[in-house]
């Protein structure tokens, strides 16, 4: 096993020294747009795009400088300033892992910024929308670039805030406001895990900085309960942000936000933060074959199936895509739980997924834009003739996600599946099954939307979207075609990431094998799924109102009873608990606290009377004070 390279302190200036500009640009954009407010309404969106593009340029230049360094020098820590004196220095860690994320965030982020110019053109609050988007990009970059857990946590909360603001962007819709609140609260559970995990790290290692942690762990490999606890708590954090079981329930509701938000935050970038956390901490905290690593894989496998099943039953195009997002992140988690053999595939899938999922979400947005914001796929049909560009780009994304040979998803997902089958056979075959289901529900989506008969509402006049929206689609779909092969063939990504996250020794790095059993089984199942979808939704008529369906359909439609489970397991007992707590609080705690408060308040009230308002009393108190002081000093002096 090749372990990660040592982190070196960056001293030369250059692009890496100036990499903080990556965060500064969008942050400045958000600040300007929020502070100047309506004054910037006319050009605010352009500023937002410019700041995002500037950040992308910095990321590219930093990347170029980084790959110019020898492999063992590619983990550069940039110290910025002392944050909490003596404890935490604010700094950035520029290494292959963080720069991969930075490129994805700024690259895909910029395309989505551009797309939003068109998508939000008729919204009076477009400027505010761009300020939140910029805020999100800045926070997400801080999350992945920070050199310590404190910075990571600030970014983590920052993206949570931006996500909350953007889901609830159309706050006049009660559903949007509720969804935003739900996302925020469910994420709190995960954040709590991350926070407690950080506390235990600090207590165990006395530092939260990655380089110091790496050095300590290299010196004495840790073991014992604390490490398991850290791993599991960080996993809880990752589950919250990445919508993994059991904290998945917020993601489907989050689709209430404007579609570019769903594409950027709830598909391409933020929800992958959990995978980042696991991989980043994995180098430190996951001894090979440990219980917590297995837990990551199990969570991943369970979520990839759950997401796929939910995706099968959704008629709302965005919720279908949200289910598939959950499912695909499940694949990444499964890969990340396998350790360094799986990291490259997990990150590779994360990057290609960022492209094809953003592509499809934006495509869905384009369809909604054309259909008066209708999201029910039962009211679509036959759209391919009316929106050819949207159709072609969406179709490319679709082929990529189901793993059509030679497209991006084929290489990255297959990599995860084969590695999983090799190391965790049971989970691996579940992933194969998941791929088959993916083939079914994604085909269902494409057939219901673009093929078959028109089932439109009367006033629908579908049209192709403007160029500012279609160009990002085209660029994203190009990535969806070629990126996977480029990254995976001849292990390009694995070699690149090796200094940051470790990798198997050179001789054992996997060769890409298109004719393995698992690979062929996956292709066969996908074909069966797609064929079944064609029979049900392509050839046959799709009823305009959803049929009642079997128990299984209901099960999937209601998000596997996730909300019902939450309600009966957490909400109701939670309500009872709060009721009991309120009772106990009123009778027991309040007695104590009120007693204390009343005590302090009473003291305060009594002491207040000393403040008579008479200057003579004050002067007397000064005199007494002086006498006391003098007396005390004479006493101290003479002891």
Partner 1 sequence: MNDAVVAPTIEYGTLAPMLLVFGAAVVGVLVEAFAPRYLRKSIHVPLTLLSLAGAFALVILQVVKGAVPTAPVAMGAVAVDGPSLFIWGVILVLSFVCVLMINDEGHFVASAAAVPGSADEEEAEAAGGSHTEVYPLVLFAVGGMLLFPASHDLLTMFVGLEVMSLPLYLLCGLARRRRLLSQEASMKYFLLGAFSSAFFLYGTAMIYGYAGTVSFTGINKALATGSLLDPILLLGLSLLGVGLLFKIGAAPFQAWKPDVYQGAPTPITALMASGTLVAAVGALLRVFWVALGNMDWDWRPVMWAVAALTMVVGAILAITQTDIKRMLAYSSIAHAGFLLIGVMATFDKTAQNSKSLSAILFYLLVYSLATVGAFAVVTMVRDPGGEAGHLSRWAGLGKRAPILAGIFAFFLLAFAGIPLTSGFFGKYAVFAAALASGSEAGDSLGGWMTGLVVVGVIASAIAAFFYVRVIVLMFFSEPAADGPSIAVPSTGTVAVIAISLLVTVGVGLFPQPMLDLANQAASGLFIR
Residues near partner 1, by CB under 8 A: 81-86, 600-601, 603-605, 607-608, 610-611, 613, 615, 617-619, 621-622, 624-626, 628-630, 632-634, 636-638
CB of 14 to partner 1, least distance (A): 22
CB of 405 to partner 1, least distance (A): 50
Comparison of 586 and 611: residue with beta carbon closer to partner 1: 611
CB of 637 to partner 1, least distance (A): 5
Using CA atoms, how far apart are residues 361 and 473, in angstroms rounded to an integer? Answer: 10
Comparison of 172 and 515: residue with beta carbon closer to partner 1: 172
DSSP letter, residue 258: -
CB of 603 to partner 1, least distance (A): 6
**Strand 88-94 vs strand 8-9: parallel, antiparallel, or unpaired?**
unpaired
CB of 195 to partner 1, least distance (A): 13
Q: Tell me the β-bridge partners of 316.
A: 376
Q: Which among 298, 310, 311, 320 is positioned nearest to 562, based on CA atoms?
A: 310
Reading phi first (left if > 0) and then psi (alpha if -120 to 50, else beta), residue 175 is in alpha
Comparison of 576 and 618: residue with beta carbon closer to partner 1: 618
CB of 56 to partner 1, least distance (A): 24
Comparison of 551 and 614: residue with beta carbon closer to partner 1: 614
What's the half-sphere exposure (Cβ side, CA atoms, 13 Å) at 239? 27
Comparison of 426 and 628: residue with beta carbon closer to partner 1: 628
Q: Which among 272, 260, 259, 264 is positioned nearest to 317, based on CA atoms?
A: 259
CB of 620 to partner 1, least distance (A): 10
Using CA atoms, how far apart are residues 269 and 183, in angstroms rounded to an integer? Answer: 16
Using CA atoms, how far apart are residues 247 and 245, in angstroms rounded to an integer? Answer: 5
Comparison of 26 and 118: residue with beta carbon closer to partner 1: 26
Helix (H, G, I), strand (E, B) or coil at 43: coil
Measure Cα distances from 572 to 188, 403, 577, 582 in Å.
18, 42, 8, 15
Comparison of 171 and 603: residue with beta carbon closer to partner 1: 603
CB of 40 to partner 1, least distance (A): 17
Comparison of 131 and 325: residue with beta carbon closer to partner 1: 131
Comparison of 31 and 368: residue with beta carbon closer to partner 1: 31
CB of 82 to partner 1, least distance (A): 5
Largest CA distance in the chain: 104
Kindly calculate the radius of gyration of the chain based on its CA atoms and give it in whole angstroms. 28
Residues 510/419, Cβ–Cβ less than 8 Å: yes
CB of 153 to partner 1, least distance (A): 12
CB of 593 to partner 1, least distance (A): 11
Measure Cα distances from 635 to 480, 492, 639 in Å.
84, 79, 6
CB of 616 to partner 1, least distance (A): 9
Residues 444/534, Cβ–Cβ less than 8 Å: no
Comparison of 86 and 174: residue with beta carbon closer to partner 1: 86
Using CA atoms, how far apart are residues 446 and 465, in angstroms rounded to an integer? Answer: 18
246 prior amide bond cis, ω within 30: yes
Comparison of 90 and 501: residue with beta carbon closer to partner 1: 90
Comparison of 544 and 597: residue with beta carbon closer to partner 1: 597
DSSP letter, residue 246: T
**Strand 88-94 vs strand 76-84: parallel, antiparallel, or unpaired?**
antiparallel
Buried b (16+ CB within 10 A) or exposed e, 131-163: bbbbbbbbbbbbbbbbbbbbbbbebbbbbbbbb
CB of 86 to partner 1, least distance (A): 7
CB of 149 to partner 1, least distance (A): 15
Comparison of 90 and 469: residue with beta carbon closer to partner 1: 90
Using CA atoms, how far apart are residues 491 and 479, in angstroms rounded to an integer? Answer: 18
CB of 198 to partner 1, least distance (A): 14
Residues 77/91, Cβ–Cβ less than 8 Å: yes
CB of 393 to partner 1, least distance (A): 41
Q: Which among 305, 184, 290, 183 is positioned nearest to 235, based on CA atoms?
A: 290
Comparison of 171 and 490: residue with beta carbon closer to partner 1: 171
Residues 521/427, Cβ–Cβ less than 8 Å: no
For the residues of 366-407, what is the DSSP string, one character each? HHHHHTTT--BGGG---GGGT-HHHHHHHHHHHHHHHT-TTS
For the residues of 296-330, what is the DSSP string, one character each? HHHHHHHHHHHHHHHHHH--BHHHHHHHHHHHHHH
Comparison of 83 and 512: residue with beta carbon closer to partner 1: 83
Comparison of 81 and 515: residue with beta carbon closer to partner 1: 81
Residues 131/30, Cβ–Cβ less than 8 Å: yes
């Amino acid at each position: 096993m090749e372990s990660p390279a040592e982190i070196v302190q960056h001293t030369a200036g250059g692009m890496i020294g100036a990499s903080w500009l990556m965060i500064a640009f969008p942050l400045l954009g958000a600040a300007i747009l929020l502070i100047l407010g309506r004054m910037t309404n006319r050009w605010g969106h352009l500023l937002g795009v410019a700041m995002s593009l500037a950040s992308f340029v910095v990321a590219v230049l930093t990347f170029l400088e980084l790959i110019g360094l020898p492999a063992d020098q590619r983990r550069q820590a940039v110290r910025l300033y002392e944050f909490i004196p003596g404890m935490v220095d604010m700094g950035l860690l520029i290494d292959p892992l963080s720069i991969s994320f930075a490129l994805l965030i700024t690259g895909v982020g910029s395309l989505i910024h551009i797309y939003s110019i068109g998508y939000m053109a008729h919204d009076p609050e477009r400027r505010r929308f761009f300020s939140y988007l910029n805020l999100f990009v800045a926070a997400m970059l801080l999350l992945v670039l920070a050199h310590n857990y404190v910075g990571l946590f600030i970014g983590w909360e920052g993206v949570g805030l931006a996500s909350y603001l953007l889901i609830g962007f159309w706050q006049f819709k009660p559903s949007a406001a509720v969804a935003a609140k739900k996302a925020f609260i469910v994420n709190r559970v995960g954040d709590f895990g991350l926070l407690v995990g950080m506390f235990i790290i600090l207590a165990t290692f006395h530092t939260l900085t990655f380089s110091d942690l790496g050095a300590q762990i290299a010196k004495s490999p840790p073991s014992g309960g604390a490490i398991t606890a850290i791993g599991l708590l960080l996993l809880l954090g990752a589950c919250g942000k990445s919508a993994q079981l059991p904290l998945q329930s917020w993601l489907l509701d989050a689709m209430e936000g404007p579609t570019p938000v769903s594409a950027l935050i709830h598909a391409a970038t933020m929800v992958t933060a959990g995978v980042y956390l696991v991989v980043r901490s994995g180098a430190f905290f996951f001894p090979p074959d440990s219980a917590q690593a297995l837990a990551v894989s199990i969570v991943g496998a369970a979520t990839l199936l759950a997401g796929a099943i939910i995706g099968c039953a959704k008629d709302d195009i965005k919720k279908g895509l949200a289910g598939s997002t959950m499912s695909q992140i499940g694949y990444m988690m499964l890969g990340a739980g396998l350790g360094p053999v799986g990291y490259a595939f997990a990150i590779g899938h994360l990057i290609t997924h960022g492209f094809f999922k953003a592509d499809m979400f934006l495509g869905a947005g384009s369809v909604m834009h054309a259909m008066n914001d209708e999201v029910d796929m039962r009211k679509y049909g036959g759209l391919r003739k009316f929106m050819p560009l949207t159709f072609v780009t969406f179709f490319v994304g679709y082929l990529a996600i189901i793993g059509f040979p030679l497209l991006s998803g084929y290489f990255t997902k297959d990599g995860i599946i084969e590695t999983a089958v090799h190391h965790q056979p049971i989970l691996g075959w579940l992933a194969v099954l998941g791929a088959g289901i993916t083939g079914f529900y994604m085909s269902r989506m494409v057939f219901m939307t673009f093929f078959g008969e028109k089932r439109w509402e009367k006033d629908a006049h579908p049209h192709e979207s403007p160029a500012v929206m279609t160009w990002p689609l085209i660029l994203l779909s190009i990535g969806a075609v070629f990126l996977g092969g480029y990254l995976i063939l001849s292990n390009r990504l694995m070699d690149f990431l090796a200094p940051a996250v470790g990798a198997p020794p050179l001789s054992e790095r996997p060769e890409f094998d298109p004719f393995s059993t698992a690979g062929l089984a996956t292709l066969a199942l996908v074909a069966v799924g797609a064929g079944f979808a064609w029979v049900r939704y392509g050839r046959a008529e799709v009823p305009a109102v959803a049929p009642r369906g079997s128990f299984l359909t209901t099960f999937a439609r209601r998000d596997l009873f996730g909300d019902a489970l939450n309600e009966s397991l957490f909400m109701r007992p939670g309500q009872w608990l709060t009721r009991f707590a309120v009772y106990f609080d009123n009778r027991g705690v309040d007695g104590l606290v009120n007693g204390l408060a009343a005590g302090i308040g009473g003291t305060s009230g009594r002491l207040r009377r000393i403040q008579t308002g008479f200057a003579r009393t004050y002067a007397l108190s000064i005199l007494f004070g002086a006498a006391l002081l003098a007396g005390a000093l004479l006493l101290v002096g003479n002891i």
